[in-house]
Amino acid sequence: MELLDIIKLPDPVLRKKSAAVEQVDDDLRRLLDAMLETMYEAPGIGLAAIQVGVPKRIITIDTTRDEGPRKPLYLINPEILTLSDDRSTYEEGCLSIPDYFAEIERPASARVRYVDYDGKQQELQADELLATVIQHEIDHLNGVLFVDYLSKLKRDLVIRKFTKAARLDEREKRKHVAL
């Protein structure tokens, strides 16, 4: 399976709102499989299609990590139906914002409707970590990053850091090409 390139901050693609998927077919399932393998390899526990440059409402998730057999979830056109009033806080990170983590408070549970890998409509009651990952990934589909939940000062610092790193990386690439 071919691994996909994960887009990093400050790429403006990450701020795009993703479009609904019209039909589940073999091409979409190949993308889902490639996303899952890319997520595992990264390593991560969630990946939205926009993070690999595909502006479609598609998410892969597996919160098992090294705890037993893998249990991948494929959410196509996910929609949050309800969020709990109870809150939970997790230290979130993001494959598109490598090596940066922050405590983010979100609703502790969520009820979600989505289409699965086989094109069937499903509903899921998610709690704690799974609820957080689902909310994080659905945010991606809407062009929202977890750093948007930070204070303006912290968010601006993170964005500046990644913008500077991207400029330096681009200069380094150009230097190698010129030699």
Q: Hey, which residues are catalytic here?
A: 137
Q: Which of 97, 6, 19 is nearest to 58 (CA)?
A: 19
Strand partners, 121: 115
